[in-house]
Amino acid sequence: MDLRKWSKSKADYGRRLFNSGIEGARSGREEFLDGESFTSFLSESVRSALKPAALGVCIGVLGSCPGSQKSITRALTYGLLGGAIGLGAGVAWEIRRLTASVAGSALKNIGRVRDERWLTKHPIDYA
């Protein structure tokens, strides 16, 4: 097999893998959301993540005051950083089941494409 034919074969296989993964991710998302819109699910998740964000702000502000030196700018910066980390962690926790559904469906579709390719390269002869 020459280089051109080999690279075209690999590129086609990679494209099929990518497209099947994307299609699996879409079907996993739709299956999980079950008719609910993604934006409403995400906004509800962000609302639920506000408690960890507030906790992150408090920890950031308290962490910025070591000893007697108290700087308002430093406290605000650490508070914002703690809030961002808390919000990110809270949203990640809230959407973990959606992420698992999307990843599982994508991997299932990719596995099907890999199995099809293996069977074309290694046909099973029962006779």
Residue 9 confidence (pLDDT) above 90? no
pLDDT classification of 69: cutoffs 50, 70, 90: low
Q: Does residue 117 or residue 64 have the better pLDDT?
A: 117
Q: Are 55 and 89 in contact (CB under 8 A)?
A: no
What's residue 71's pLDDT?
83
Burial readout 55-84 (b: 16 or more C-beta within 10 A, e: otherwise): ebbebbbeebeeeeeeeeebbeebbebbbe
Q: Are 24 and 109 in contact (CB under 8 A)?
A: yes
Give the model confidence (pLDDT) of 14-62 as tens digits: 999 999 999 999 999 999 999 999 999 999 999 999 999 999 999 998 8
Q: How far apart, in whole angstroms, are the C-alpha atoms of residue 39 and residue 41?
A: 5
What's residue 115's pLDDT?
93
| The token pair that represents 113 in the structure block | 């494409």
pLDDT classification of 124: cutoffs 50, 70, 90: confident
What's residue 37's pLDDT?
93
Residue 1 confidence (pLDDT) above 70? no
Residue 127 confidence (pLDDT) above 90? no
Residue 7 confidence (pLDDT) above 90? no
Give the model confidence (pLDDT) of 87-116 as tens digits: 999 999 999 999 999 999 999 999 999 999
> For 1-35, what is the HEC assignment?
CCHHHHHHHHHHHHHHHHHHHHHHHHHHHHHHHCC
Burial readout 19-32 (b: 16 or more C-beta within 10 A, e: otherwise): ebbeebbebbbeeb
Domain boundaries, given as residue ranges, for the chain: 18-117
